[in-house]
Amino acid sequence: MTERGTVTIGGRVVLAGAAQHPHAARRLREALPRLDLVPEGDGLPRITLAEDASRAEGAFALSVGPAEIAVSGGPFSGVIYGVEELIAAARPQDGGYRLPAGERRAAPGLAHRAWWTWDHSTNWELSQIGHQEIGVFNPYGKPPEGFLADYKRAVDFASRNRIAAIIIYGFLRDSHGGIEAAQELCRYARERGVRIMPGIAIGAYGGVYWEGDHRFNLASWLHANPAFAATLEKGIGFQIQDLDFPLSFPRSDYTLSACPSRPETMDWMTDAVAWLAETFAIGGINIESGDYGVCGCARCNARRAAREDGSRRAGDAESWSHADMADNFPRLFEAASARRDDLWLYCELQWDNLLDPAAHEALAAMPSGGIYQHTVNRSYWAKLREGLSRADVERLPTQPNILRCQFASQWNGDRRTERYAFNAKAFADMATTGAALGMKGLTVWGEASPYHATVELGYRAFARFSYDPSLTWDAFMAEDAAPMLGGTAEAERFVAVAEELDANVELPAERLKTLSAMAHEAGAGAREDAVARRWLSLEDQIARRRFMGR
């Protein structure tokens, strides 16, 4: 039935395309239980799900008419995004649902939208022990099933919010299920339109198999082949200017590195990457050269020669080699591409050097088809906003380019860090500014649970602004934040309180008491449980500070 620009649908409805799009069909059944979805039937209204290869990945068209609702989408995720749009638009009416008639089309403004995570500090399943919040050489302290429990929740959120990929360092560990758990996660994510991208480093960060008794685990390989170990130029580790406390890197099997100039090392890495692409239904790989030390042996120094000024690594500004990446990424790119032709292959170019031409001189011969990721900390982002132009991005020797936000996480900030801060405005700014500069993607940290309302709003802002960089902050507040927090005034109050907490390491006890009362009042007056939970999470942040006396 059609009335005043709307269509009402209910009762028995044919669902076509369910076999080809099982998760989209599942979501329709879960979210629209008033519909009796059947595989066939004469004279019944229809919902049709179909892939359209002419559309970009993640693009979709939703057409709502009196006899048929058609969802067509680009490869991998488009149909799922279209179905989520349909679900969001449906309103209960007369035993069925009312939908706005007409066609809605959408396509991602930034093609590459990813979360960056470490397995040990990704805490989406809150009812288990072993949570950690910072570190790169950490053991896994959760129950073995915790890996899938965390990441399946993250995949569900990503799928429903058009976040295209999840990068995982620590993808393979014996202690959280090894090969079988990783295969299950890839299957689960691919069905939901989310790319799983293992994070690896060339002769560093554990190799392809981060921890365990496996031929592609770096420590196991170097214990058997000690002659191939790196001779580091200086001590292990790195420091970040925008983090106001020093990082500690105790030596262990986690901190081992292999010499990238030894042919045996690169043969081993190439075989490992080929095995990774063949064994798992991954959606890509994030490849770096390692950022906690550079081999300074005679072979490496001769190979790099005049292409790279090693004195740049004398302090804490750099702890990596672009020449190492330039020499070895193409080979790993080729090995992965030969096994799967649909992978996103990220090349991590490390942090805070995008305005420095000397940092990119060694990268002119990088392969077409790679995706080149530039990481920025908070203070450097301010420099980029003022000093980087679209023409600068177009002149880079690597194409296409994407940004990675290293702030708005545990890696920037004061003693509290920015992990649980209100980061929504930062993500919105990076997405809109990056798109205007000609960047093709954005990566942000995605480890903390959206149980924390500040985190949830940050993720929603990342998802919305990276998919649609033309979105305005006012529109986001009206369309997303207001429904999540109980209204427009409530959303503005939440943001004001959260930003005051973030801006002040310490606050007077009386001020904290006042802020707590504001959060408590808003939560107590909420009509929906989800809205009350968000205010409760903010009130809990304040209560912790009151308990600490600051």
CB 251 within 8 A of CB 236: yes
Q: What is the CA radius of gyration of the chain?
A: 24
pLDDT tier, 316 (very low <50, low <70, confident <90, very high otherwise)? confident
Task: Please report the pLDDT score of residue 361 as a whole number.
Answer: 86
Query: What percentage of the chain has pLDDT greater than the value 70?
Result: 99
CB 335 within 8 A of CB 273: yes
Residue 262: which of 314, 221, 234 has the closest Cα?
221
Four-residue CA torsion sign, 302, 304, 309, 314: negative
* Element (DSSP H or E) covering residue 285: strand 284-288
Instruction: State the number of CA atoms in the 13 A half-sphere of 302 facing the CB.
Output: 6
pLDDT tier, 4 (very low <50, low <70, confident <90, very high otherwise)? low
Buried b (16+ CB within 10 A) or exposed e, 71-89: bbbbbbbbbbbbbbbbbee
Domain spans, the chain: 2-106, 112-366, 480-548
Q: 91 has which bridge partners?
A: 98
Q: Per CATH, which fold does 112-366 belong to?
A: TIM Barrel (3.20.20)
Distances (CA, A) of 264 to 148, 227, 257, 268, 275: 34, 10, 13, 6, 16
Please determine, for residue 308, whether its predicted confidence score (pLDDT) is greater than 90: no
Residue 229 or residue 291, greater confidence: 229
Please determine, for residue 169, whether its predicted confidence score (pLDDT) is greater than 60: yes
For the question of whether the overall pTM of this predicted structure is more than 0.75, the answer is yes
Domains 2-106 and 112-366 share a fold: no
Residue 484, classed as helix, strand or coil, is helix
Instruction: Give per-residue pLDDT as tens, 40-73.
Output: 999 999 999 999 999 999 999 999 999 999 999 9
Distance, in Å, from the CA atom of 329 to the CA atom of 288, rounded to the nearest integer, reads: 8
pLDDT tier, 111 (very low <50, low <70, confident <90, very high otherwise)? very high
Secondary structure (DSSP) of 315-364? SSS--S-HHHHHHHHHHHHHHHHHH-TT-EEEEEEEES-TT-GGGGGGGT
Tell me the backbone φ, ψ of residue 48, rounded to 5 degrees. -115, 130
CB 443 within 8 A of CB 402: yes
In the structure, how many helices (H) and strands (E) does the chain have?
Answer: 17, 18
Pairing of the two strands 96-100 and 6-9: antiparallel
Please determine, for residue 237, whether its predicted confidence score (pLDDT) is greater than 90: no
Stretch 154-164: mean pLDDT: 98
Distance, in Å, from the CA atom of 265 to the CA atom of 292, rounded to the nearest integer, reads: 18
Tell me the backbone φ, ψ of residue 81, rounded to 5 degrees. -60, -40
CATH numeric code, 2-106: 3.30.379.10
Four-residue CA torsion sign, 267, 366, 369, 122: positive
Distance, in Å, from the CA atom of 194 to the CA atom of 190, rounded to the nearest integer, reads: 5
Distances (CA, A) of 314 to 295, 319, 320, 444: 13, 9, 11, 29
Cα-based angle 519, 524, 527 (whole degrees, multiple of 5): 115
* Element (DSSP H or E) covering residue 452: none
Tell me which residue has tokens 């450097």: 380
Q: Length of the chain, please?
A: 550
Distance, in Å, from the CA atom of 242 to the CA atom of 326, rounded to the nearest integer, reads: 28
Task: Please report the pLDDT score of residue 105 as a whole number.
Answer: 98
Instruction: Give per-residue pLDDT as tens, 266-291.
Output: 999 999 999 999 999 999 999 999 88
Cα-based angle 255, 259, 263 (whole degrees, multiple of 5): 140
pLDDT tier, 359 (very low <50, low <70, confident <90, very high otherwise)? confident
Instruction: Give per-residue pLDDT as tens, 374-415.
Output: 999 999 999 999 999 999 999 999 999 999 999 999 999 999
Pairing of the two strands 371-376 and 344-351: parallel
Task: Please report the pLDDT score of residue 310 as a whole number.
Answer: 82
User: In this structure, what DSSP letter does residue 358 have?
Assistant: G
Mean pLDDT of the chain: 96
Distance, in Å, from the CA atom of 102 to the CA atom of 107, rounded to the nearest integer, reads: 17
